[in-house]
Amino acid sequence: MALMSTCDISKAAEDCRTPRRYRAQQKRSNFRQVFECGSPLPLSVTLRMWVLFIYLLVCGCPRVSASSGLHVGAAAVDLEADDSMIIAGGITAGKAAGQEGKLRVVAIVLEKAQTKLAIAACDILMITREHLDPVIKEIEHSMNIPAANILINCTHTHHAPSTMVLHGYGLDPIFTKRVQQAIVKAVQQANANISTNDCAFLFHVGQEETVGQNSRQLLDDGQIYWIGPRTNFVRATGPFDPELPVFAFRDEPANKIRAVIFNHSTHTIGTHSPGKRSPSFYGLAAQELENELGGIACYLEGASGSTHNLSLDCDEATRRIKTAVLDALESVQARPVTRLKALKRPFKFKVRNFDEKSEDEAVSRYCRKYAGAYGATVINVFRDMREHLAPQRGQERETWLQVLLIGDVAIAAVPGEFFTQLGLDIKNRSPFRYTYIAELANDWIGYLPNREAHKLGGYQVWTGYHSYAEPGTGERIVDEIVQMLLEVRRERLE
Are residues 211 and 114 located together in one domain of the fold?
yes
d(CA 89, CA 372): 19
d(CA 62, CA 264): 23
Are residues 171 and 41 located together in one domain of the fold?
no
Are residues 262 and 328 located together in one domain of the fold?
yes
In this prediction, residue 21 carries a pLDDT of: 39
Has residue 476 been placed in a domain?
A: no
pLDDT at 16 over 60: no
The answer to whether 212 touches 266, Cβ cutoff 8 Å, is: yes
In this prediction, residue 494 carries a pLDDT of: 57
Has residue 24 been placed in a domain?
A: yes
* Residue 323, amino acid: T
Name the region of 262 (left: φ>0; alpha: ψ -120 to 50; beta: rest): beta
pLDDT at 491 over 60: yes
Structural domain count, the chain: 2
Domain boundary, last residue among 297, 320, 338: 338
User: Across-strand partners of 189?
Assistant: none
d(CA 209, CA 231): 22
Angle formed by the axes of helices 280-293 and 24-35, nearest 10°: 60
Are residues 203 and 314 located together in one domain of the fold?
yes
* Average pLDDT over all residues of the chain: 90
pLDDT at 222 over 70: yes
Measure the CA angle with vertex 351, ends 349 and 357; round to 5°: 150
In this prediction, residue 493 carries a pLDDT of: 64
In this prediction, residue 43 carries a pLDDT of: 40
Angle formed by the axes of helices 420-429 and 473-493, nearest 10°: 20
Are residues 265 and 211 located together in one domain of the fold?
yes
CA dihedral for 123, 124, 125, 130, sign (positive or negative): negative
Per-residue model confidence as pLDDT tens digits over 371-402: 999 999 999 999 999 999 999 999 999 999 99
Tell me the pTM.
Answer: 0.89
Per-residue model confidence as pLDDT tens digits over 71-105: 999 999 999 999 999 999 999 999 999 999 999 99
CB neighbour list of residue 279: distance below 8 Å, 6 or more residues apart = 101, 102, 103, 104, 123, 155, 157, 159, 160, 268, 286, 287
Are residues 24 and 167 located together in one domain of the fold?
no
d(CA 244, CA 125): 21
- Tell me which residue of 365, 370, 481 sits closest to 428, measured CA to CA: 481
Are residues 186 and 280 located together in one domain of the fold?
yes
Domain boundary, last residue among 284, 303, 338: 338
DSSP secondary structure code for residue 349 in this structure: E
Average confidence (pLDDT) over 464-492: 96
d(CA 303, CA 416): 9
In this prediction, residue 68 carries a pLDDT of: 85
Per-residue pLDDT band at 492 (split at 50, 70, 90): confident
d(CA 427, CA 412): 9
Alpha carbon separation from 177 to 97, 252, 420 (Å, rounded): 21, 38, 31
Has residue 119 been placed in a domain?
A: yes
User: Across-strand partners of 399?
Assistant: 347
Task: Among 14-28, 212-226, 413-427, name the one with the lowest average pLDDT.
Answer: 14-28
Per-residue model confidence as pLDDT tens digits over 289-308: 999 999 999 999 999 999 99
The answer to whether 303 touches 264, Cβ cutoff 8 Å, is: no
pLDDT at 67 over 80: no
Has residue 451 been placed in a domain?
A: no
Percent of the chain at pLDDT exceeding 90:
85
d(CA 221, CA 92): 27
The answer to whether 70 touches 108, Cβ cutoff 8 Å, is: no
Has residue 256 been placed in a domain?
A: yes
The answer to whether 265 touches 271, Cβ cutoff 8 Å, is: no
d(CA 79, CA 406): 28
Q: How many CA atoms lie within 13 A of 162 on its CB side?
A: 22
Are residues 125 and 20 located together in one domain of the fold?
no
User: What end-to-end distance do the CA atoms of the chain give, in Å?
Assistant: 58
Full residue range of the structural domain in which residue 24 is found: 6-59
CB-count burial class (<10 Å; 0-12, 13-18, 19+) for 420: buried
DSSP 60-114: T-----S----EEEEEEEEPP--TTSPBPSSSS-B--SSBSS--EEEEEEEEETT
pLDDT at 466 over 90: yes
Domain boundary, last residue among 323, 338, 353: 338
Measure the CA angle with vertex 235, ends 232 and 239; round to 5°: 140
Are residues 136 and 114 located together in one domain of the fold?
yes
Measure the CA angle with vertex 316, ends 311 and 318; round to 5°: 115
d(CA 38, CA 30): 10
Has residue 436 been placed in a domain?
A: no
Are residues 231 and 302 located together in one domain of the fold?
yes
Average confidence (pLDDT) over 197-204: 98
DSSP secondary structure code for residue 149 in this structure: G
Looking at 206-313, list the stretches that DSSP marks H as alpha helix, in order from N- to C-terminal side. Answer: 280-293
Are residues 224 and 276 located together in one domain of the fold?
yes
Q: How many CA atoms lie within 13 A of 494 on its CB side?
A: 6
d(CA 104, CA 72): 19
Alpha carbon separation from 229 to 217, 221, 361, 366, 429 (Å, rounded): 12, 13, 20, 12, 37
Are residues 48 and 86 located together in one domain of the fold?
no
